[in-house]
Chains A and B, each alone.
Chain A
Amino acid sequence: MTAPAWSLKPDDRGRVLLSLSGDWRLAEAGSIDVVPVLAAVDDRSGVVDVVVEGAGLGQWDSLLMTFLIDFRRGCAEREVMVDVTGLPAGVQALLKLASAVPERKGDRRVATRVCWIAEWGEGARGVWLDALFITRFIGEITLAVVAMLARGPRFRRIDPWLQIQECGPSALPIVSLISLLVGLILAFVGAVQLALFGAQIYIADLVGLSMTREMGALMTAIIMAGRSGAAFAAQIGSMNVNMEISALRVMGFSPIEFLVLPRLLALILVMPILCLFSDLMGILGGGLVSIGFFDIPLTQYLQRTIESVHLPDFLIGVTKGALFGILIALAGCVRGVQCGHSASAVGNAATSAVVTGIVFIVVADSIVTLICDRLGL
Chain B
Amino acid sequence: MTESVIAVKNLTLAYGDLLIQRDLNFSVNRGDIFVIMGGSGCGKSTLLMHLIGLLQPARGSVFYGRQDFWRADGKTRETLMRKIGVLFQSGALLSSLTLAENIALPLARFTSLAQRQIDSVVSYKLALVGLAGFEDYYPAEISGGMQKRAGLARAMALDPEILFFDEPSAGLDPVSAKLLDDLIKSLRDGLGATVVMVTHELSSIFAIGTESIFLDPETKTAIASGPPRRLLGESRDPKVLRFLTRDHSAPEVLA
Contact = CB atoms under 8 A, between A and B. Distances in A.
Given A154-B109, A249-B54, A250-B53, A244 B92 contact: yes
Interface string A235-264: 100110011101111111100000000000
A250 B92 CA distance: 11
Interface SS of A by simple majority = helix
Contacts of B88: 243, 246-247
Given A154-B109, A251-B105, A246 B78 contact: no
Contact of B109 (A235, A238, A250, A253): A253
Contacts of A246: 49, 54, 88, 92
A53 B82 CA distance: 69
Interface centre among B82, B94, B106 (most CB of A within 10 A): B94
A252 B92 contact: no
- Chain A contact-residue range equals 10 to 19
A247 B86 contact: yes
Interface in B144-165: 154
Contact of B82 (A242, A243, A247, A252): A252
Contacts of A247: 86, 88, 92-94
A242 B90 contact: yes
B245 interface: no
B90 to A, nearest CB: 7
B95 interface: yes
Given A154-B109, A242-B95, A244-B95, A250 B90 contact: no
Nearest to A235: B96
Given A250-B54, A250-B81, A252-B78, A239 B94 contact: yes
Given A243-B89, A247-B88, A252 B94 contact: no
B160 to A, nearest CB: 10
Given A246-B54, A247-B88, A252 B110 contact: yes
A251 B95 contact: no
B86 A250 contact: yes
A4 B78 CA distance: 70
20 contacts: A154-B109, A156-B101, A235-B96, A238-B95, A239-B95, A242-B90, A243-B88, A243-B92, A244-B92, A244-B93, A244-B94, A246-B54, A249-B53, A250-B54, A251-B81, A251-B105, A251-B106, A251-B109, A252-B81, A253-B109
